[in-house]
């Protein structure tokens, strides 16, 4: 009986192995694998030249614009002269406007005595100067308030002469240089009207003698020549 049982057991094992070999194989996760392979087919490695071709273009930032330049016509000592040129240009559809300009025109020389400890002391000093027949005035404003002004002179030698007279009288005068401003008037032409103004320039020069022109940034201040 034992041998019969063992024989049946061996036959059952043999049959099981043979049945497993005949059964169809099942591949798990076939669909995800196919999707992965399909995705791999859609990917390609790019070299440097290919990357340059497909790189999205970034919007170009505008180049920094340089200051616009305008044509200035002048200079006129009186505003009426500048207004005449302005009206002539506007009649030709040229955009123009009058600009007053304060230009440096040399130096003035201010002789003065420094403020004393109190206004009363400065007033006593003023009376002393006037008793010596020295032209003098009390300064009422600014950083020299309560000081004494002894005159503003267009030449340095004139100022030095007055200072020497005061030194001889026992005072200690001081000197301050003051920029002298000269106002003139210029006609500024807008950049979009520049071409029309160039065409009109010969006639303007003929009608307004000694008319000068300068080209500079539109917001700058023209300098009188």
* 3-class SS shares of the chain: helix, strand, coil, % to 5: 45, 25, 30
Pairing of strands 174-189, 96-113: antiparallel
Which class is domain 106-180? Answer: alpha beta
Same CATH topology for 70-105+182-217 and 106-180? yes
pLDDT at 215: 83
Distances (CA, A) of 126 to 93, 136, 147, 152, 163: 61, 7, 9, 17, 16
Band (pLDDT 50/70/90 cuts) for residue 210 is confident
Tell whether the model's pLDDT for residue 147 goes beyond 50: yes
164 sits in which H/E element: helix 156-168
Contact 70, 190 (CB under 8 A): yes
Helix (DSSP H) and strand (DSSP E) numbers for the chain: 7, 6
At the fourth CATH level, the homologous superfamily of domain 70-105+182-217 is ACT domain (3.30.70.260)
Rounded distance between C-alpha atoms, residue 43 and residue 129, angstroms: 100
Length of the chain measured in residues: 225
For the residues 18-25, what does the mean pLDDT come to? 53
Rounded distance between C-alpha atoms, residue 118 and residue 127, angstroms: 15
pLDDT at 70: 84
pLDDT at 67: 56
Residue-wise pLDDT for 75-114, tens only, equals 888 899 999 999 999 999 999 999 888 777 789 999 999 9
For the residues 187-213, what does the mean pLDDT come to? 88
Q: What is the mean pLDDT of the chain?
A: 78
Residue-wise pLDDT for 113-134, tens only, equals 999 999 999 999 999 999 999 9
Whole-model pTM: value is 0.46
Matching residue, tokens 């440097």? 48
Q: Please tell me what DSSP assigns to residue 143.
A: T
Contact 184, 77 (CB under 8 A): yes
Contact 121, 147 (CB under 8 A): no
For the residues 10-31, what does the mean pLDDT come to? 56
Q: How far separated are the first and last CA of the chain, in Å rounded?
A: 138
Domain boundaries, the chain: 70-105+182-217, 106-180
Rounded distance between C-alpha atoms, residue 188 and residue 214, angstroms: 10
Q: Please tell me what DSSP assigns to residue 71.
A: E
């Amino acid at each position: 009986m034992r041998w019969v049982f063992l024989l049946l057991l061996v036959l059952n094992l043999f049959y099981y192995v043979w049945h497993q070999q005949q059964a169809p194989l099942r591949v798990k996760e076939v669909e995800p694998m196919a999707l992965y392979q399909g995705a791999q087919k859609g990917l390609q490695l790019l070299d440097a030249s290919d990357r340059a071709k497909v790189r999205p273009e970034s919007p170009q930032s505008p180049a920094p614009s340089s200051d616009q330049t305008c044509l200035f016509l002048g200079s006129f000592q009186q505003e009426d002269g500048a207004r005449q040129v302005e009206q002539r240009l506007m009649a030709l559809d040229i955009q123009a406007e009058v600009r007053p300009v304060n230009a440096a025109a040399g130096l003035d020389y201010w002789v003065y005595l420094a403020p004393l400890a109190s206004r009363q002391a400065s007033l006593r000093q003023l009376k002393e100067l006037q008793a010596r027949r020295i032209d003098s005035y009390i300064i009422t404003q600014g950083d020299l308030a309560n000081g004494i002004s002894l005159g503003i002179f267009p030449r340095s030698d004139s100022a030095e002469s007055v200072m020497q007279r005061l030194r001889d009288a026992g005072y200690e005068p001081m000197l301050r240089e003051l920029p002298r401003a000269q106002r003139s008037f210029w006609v500024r032409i807008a950049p979009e009207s520049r071409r029309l103004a160039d065409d009109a320039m010969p006639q303007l020069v003929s009608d307004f003698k000694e008319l000068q022109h300068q080209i500079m940034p539109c917001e700058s201040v023209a300098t009188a020549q």
